Structure 1
Amino acid sequence: MSEVVIYPARLVRTMDAAVPTAEAVAVRGDRILAVGDVDVLASTYPGASVDSRYAELVLAPGFVEAHSHIGGEFMNHPQYLGYFPRTAPDGTPLPGAQTWQGVLDALRVWDAELPAGEVLLARGLDLLFFPGEELTRHVLDSISTTRGIFVNHASGHVGTANSFLLERAGYGAGTEIEGVVLDADGLPTGELQEMHAMGPVMAHAGIDLAAGLTTEAGMYAFAADARNHGVTTATDLASFDLVRPGGADLLVDVTSREDFALRLVPATFGGMTTSLEEARQLAGVVAASQHRATAKLHLGTVKLMLDGSIQQHTAKLSNPGYVCGHDNGIWNTDAETFRDQVRAFHAAGLNIHVHCNGDEATEVFLDAVETVLSETPRWNHRHTVTHSQLTTRAQYRRMAELGMGANIFSNHIWYWGDQHIDSTVGPDRVKRMNAARTALDAGVKVALHCDTPVTPLDPMATASYAAERRTPTGRSWGDEERISVYEALEAVTIGPAYLLKLDHLVGSIVPGKFADFAVLERDPLDVAEAKELREIGVLGTVVGGIHHPAPIAARV
């Protein structure tokens, strides 16, 4: 039998109502044995050793991120054009670009540094921060006409390509593909909206989503970023690894290693299916793969996609739509195909998470769940509206009745808060946006997420935004939808664990669960204001009793 180790702490914050705090936690092997007073634990388990490395620190449940992406080199490379500076997992600063000239200068520097013939890939740009500016093929052609250039915008739902790549994808005069934006002369502007339009260009840029982006190096970088921010369980919420050669083997191999500091939930992307038969075949693959799970690899979740991005105006909004009068979005999957996808994955007993930014998309998902439940009754399915940004009060009541959950994108309050007020949904509708209070009051289980690399992986910041509801300039998003700091912390621990059907294993410090902890400088519930959560240092994690100290300060 494994040795019992007692870890004293300044405070153990359990997120468990039965024993909300303690001064120590006892661990045996990879599991929590008990929580309580040091002396009581020592007398209960004679012969236990005492490890005081956390005696002056706070242990909290390891955070659970229910919507994130490993992404590989394409989504994590250093050619970053975002408005908000970031830090790479290894501590490298990524300054981004805060002016339009800075965007152009960065592209020129990277073009000069790259070998001839190599595609220039940049990420993170958001034109909402540069009013009046446009990124077109002409702008990118001014950087280079002899190499491909592809800029993936911050949302991941829009990209811009130069003429070099457009021509190789066959996009020219009169192209009739939804999402390929044309100018007055019928020529592509270079802007590509949503996956159907971006896919052919990305393929010529060397990005094959269907082949999978997961690499061993990418998995370790993702785990390092998680460790730096106290995350011990995270999704890859659009994974292709179970359906690509060697993908499942890679997941099993890496997650079985002691030095891999993360429990991984790869949610297979079911949006690639185009018929009921295809969806059933994929559902069978995912269901049959579950025997390959490891202690740090949890299988049985799928991801579907309905609409696009609100800040890119491709999300599907119900009346009154966008305040700017923009056309009302793009469907990534039509309603009939989507219903067949849900039907197949639901019947196979899988957990379904669906990208729904706009309330029109949420309605389609609710209709589909109600239909398939009438055909195949199933309790405890925990199907989840992910993003859930404009889900209405009526929809939340219906979600509760259907047994569904909401994974809310609260980071938008900060990263696009002012832009949503001014440019997308207006000052009234933001008061109802990312409505965590309404969801909880309706009886819906809630998680909060970051969708990294769209926004940084940082659960305490994510929690703070939902509790504070203030933009970077201090504007309110409506105090009535605030949730308490405790509720926000539940929504980055036990809440997402529940939606991923892992709450019996992770999400709180309870005997029998995995010994997964976030190591914090101070108690996250001992703050005067929610924004103070963003100032609390993370010193690493414990995953299954294995210690993973963070080599860098995690706060940006």
Structure 2
Amino acid sequence: MSITLLCARRIITMDPSLPEATHIAVQDGKVLAVGPFEELQDLGEYRLDERFADKVILPGFVEGHSHALEGAMWQYLYLGYFPRRDPQGAAWAGVTSLAEMQQRLRQQAARLPADEPLIAWGFDPVYFQGMRLDRQALDQAVNDRPLVIFHASLHVMTVNSCMLEAAQLVRHAGIEGIMLDADGRPNGELQEMAAMHAVFEALGSNLFEEVSSLSALRAYGQVARRAGVTTITDLYNPLTEEGIAALREITAAPDYPVRLVPAMSALSWTAEQGIARLQACQQLGNDKLHFGLVKLMTDGSIQGYTARMQWPGYHDGHPNGIWNAPPETLRQLVQDYHQAGLQLHIHTNGDEAVELILDAIEDAQTLWPRPDHRHTLQHCQFISQAQLRRAARLGVCLNMFANHIYYWGDIHRRRTLGFARSRRLEPLASALRLNIPTAMHSDAPVTPLGPLFTAWCAVQRQTASGASLGREEGIGVADALQMITLGAAYTLRLDHLVGSLEVGKYADMVVLDEDPLQIPAERLRELRVHATVVGGRVHEND
């Protein structure tokens, strides 16, 4: 095959042996050589591509925790507090009051056929002081059809009276997660997956299974391309037969602009079934599809008050959160998948959830030692220094939700954590000091996909109000770039294939208009992604 030689103003490789260069040679979709032009003359015949001569090239960004739902959610009504852009690049205004939300719901209902359920997403009651969304507020907006609103974290939903009736939830008021009003009746708020299941049954579809749609996966790829991402996860995939077929079909398309790494949702299967399914899937991948990860959900979200917190609990006195499965079940699942030699990515938001999983991993390692398990705590927004030291000792990786500092930092300072504890949200600097393999992520669609914004959050530690939150846990730009490239690749067990521009790896790159190591750190989130390169194929942005 022919050789293409790409040149740039600067190539930042993330390879400590050769940190930067001006040229990179690509053959058969892989990196053939890297270095200065004069050192690559012995490659033989090549084609010089100078279209990026005035740009800066980095390894393609690796998003280690996001969801293909980012490509599916936009078929529904957006009700988030912050403005966003959809996969086509269209702007959606944020919703900043209850009245505005109700009006947007009425307008959407008027566009739908009679009796068709109205589904919306992105709403976050934590931004509305003194208010908790309930069925009465929704009934005031829409009462002639079932209405479902997914909260921003996707760990909580609120439904109207029609939906409560259709799902027959009035008969199941004792189930954990079905919140009640003063009269002991369901108030419309449903917390965590078990409580939401009846709604999915009544609707005849499970939102979390819409990642099986080719259109959703295609839109997801476009969002990734615009953000400079060349390897992306779907970190809660049921891996149904339909879903596996869709993943294989979409990634087989030569023009699909991203590599996909789905993680099987452990709670969707018994351990025996899940292990067998994932082992079978490992034979079905391709260069753009990499099976092998298990996703285990423990608690919920701190801002949704469903995360499990150690003493003293929530700063404002709110009751503790909810387990998505009994703790003994979660411990057993960790042992089962660990013994099977599989890699776990474990949702842990509150420090009680972190403690439970560290206990489980330590027990599993004692029974079945594995020197390179790379089990990864996902989010770990609130983790103590003692837990960090323990994670380092156990060989655990971390993938922190750095965007959380911006979107919910103010809320945690005032309401959920208080002054002292909010300073150690996403303690990235501490993880670095302890040499813990660390990545960071967006959790899209919970927050917008954008690794450069995520890097900005980690460096600046700035909330949406402009306040500084825990500057001592801020990191430098170079470390932030490492966490969204090679660091994330390591947590996915793909660092031998992606994450740096080294000979033999996939020729996956992001092309930027400016150099992130030369501009002021506060401008990181403003950098424009000019193009991505996946396996040597260029995907230019609009």
1:248 counterpart residue number: 244
Match of 2:526 among 513, 532, 535: 535
Aligned to 1:271: 267
Aligned position for 1:258:
254
Classify 1:474/1:212 alpha carbon distance in 2 versus 1 (closer, same or farther; 3 Å). Answer: closer
Q: Show the 5 A alignment for 1:266-345.
A: 266-273=262-269, 278-345=270-337
Q: TM-score, normalised by structure 1?
A: 0.95
Whether 1:482 and 2:474 are equivalent positions in the alignment is yes
Pick closer, same or farther for the CA change 1:547–1:422 going to 2, 3 Å. Answer: same
Give deviations 1:143-173, integer Å, cap 9, x for gaps: 2222110000101011100111101111116
Identical positions, percent? 44
How far did 1:210 drift? Answer: 7.0
| DSSP-derived class of the 2:249 partner | helix
* TM-score, normalised via structure 2 length: 0.98
Q: Which amino acid aligns with 1:94?
A: W
Determine which of 153, 165, 168 is the counterpart of 2:166: 168
Q: Distance in 1 between matches of 2:70 and 2:447?
A: 16
- Aligned letter for 1:27? V
Q: Which residue of 1 aligns with 2:13?
A: 14
Partner amino acid, structure 2, of 1:272: S
Q: Is the 8 A contact 1:100 1:133 kept in 2?
A: no
Query: In the TM superposition, what whole-angstrom CA distance separates every residue of 1:480-502 from its partner, at most 9, and x where no partner exists?
Result: 11111111111110011001000
Helix, strand or coil at the partner of 1:44: helix
Counterpart residue number, 1:418: 410
- Measured against aligned partners, the alpha-carbon deviations of 1:416-461 in whole angstroms (never above 9, x if no partner) come to 1111111111111111111011111112110000000000000010
Q: 1:19 to 1:74 in 2, by over 3 A?
A: closer
Note if contact 1:74-1:207 (Cα within 8 Å) is conserved in structure 2: no
Q: How many residues align?
A: 542
Aligned counterpart, 1:398: 390
72 and 154 in structure 1: CA distance in 2 versus 1, 3 angstrom threshold: closer
Aligned to 1:103: 101
Aligned partners of 1:452, 1:379: CA distance in 2, in Å? Answer: 31
Residue 47 to residue 249, structure 1, CA distance change in 2 (3 Å): same
Partner residue in 2 for 1:81: 79
Query: Structure 1 regions of 5+ residues with no counterpart?
Result: 552-556
Q: Partners in 2 of 1:119 and 1:345 — Cα distance?
A: 38
Q: Which residue of 2 aligns with 1:118?
A: 116
Q: Secondary structure at the match of 1:432?
A: coil
- 2:537 maps to 1:546: yes
- Following the alignment from structure 1 to structure 2, what is the Cα–Cα distance between the partners of residues 338 and 303? 11
**Greater shift in the superposed pair: 343-352 or 310-319:** 343-352
Residue aligned with 1:502, SS = coil
Q: How does 1:379-398 map to 2 (within 5 A)?
A: 379-398=371-390
1:197 Cα deviation after fit: 0.9
Change in Cα spacing, 1:430 to 1:211, as seen in structure 2 (3 Å) is closer
Check 1:72–1:396 CA distance in 2 against 1; reply closer, same or farther (3 A cut).
Answer: closer
Residue in 2 that maps onto 1:32: 31
Unpaired segments ≥5 residues, structure 2:
none
- Root-mean-square deviation (CA, aligned residues, Å) is 1.4
For 1:497, the aligned partner's letter is A
Label 1:211 to 1:450 Cα distance change in 2 as closer, same or farther (>3 A): closer
The residue type paired with residue 535 of structure 1 is: E
User: Which region of structure 1 is more displaced relative to structure 2, 128-137 or 387-396?
Assistant: 128-137
425-434 vs 76-85, which deviates more?
76-85
User: Greater CA deviation, 303-312 or 285-294?
Assistant: 285-294
What amino acid does structure 2 have at the position aligned with 1:538? V
Q: In 2, Cα distance between the equivalents of 1:76 and 1:402? A: 40
CA distance in 2, matches of 1:249, 1:126: 34
Query: Does the CA-based 8 Å contact 1:313-1:329 persist in structure 2?
Result: yes
Amino acid corresponding to residue 464 of structure 1 in structure 2:
W
| More displaced 10-residue stretch of structure 1: 171-180 or 514-523 | 171-180
> What is the DSSP-based 3-state SS (H/G/I as helix, E as strand, rest coil) of the residue aligned with 1:365?
helix
Tell me the secondary structure at the aligned position of residue 363 of structure 1.
helix
User: Retained in 2: the 8 A contact 1:315–1:329?
Assistant: yes
1:157 is aligned, of 155, 158, 177, to 155
Does 2:468 align with 1:469? no
Q: For 1:73 and 1:510, locate their aligned partners in 2 and report how far apart those are by CA, in whole Å.
A: 31
Q: 1:209 to 1:113 in 2, by over 3 A?
A: closer
- Note the C-alpha offset of 1:61: 0.6
- Report how far residue 57 of structure 1 moved: 0.9
- What SS does the corresponding residue of 2:62 show, helix, strand or coil? strand
Partner of 1:294, secondary structure, is: coil
The aligned counterpart of 2:145 is: 147
Equivalent in the alignment of 1:45: 43
Deviation at 1:212, TM superposition (A): 5.1
Partner SS for 1:11 = strand
Find the aligned partners of 1:134 and 1:280 in 2 and give their Cα distance.
40
Q: Is the 8 A contact 1:431 1:478 kept in 2?
A: yes
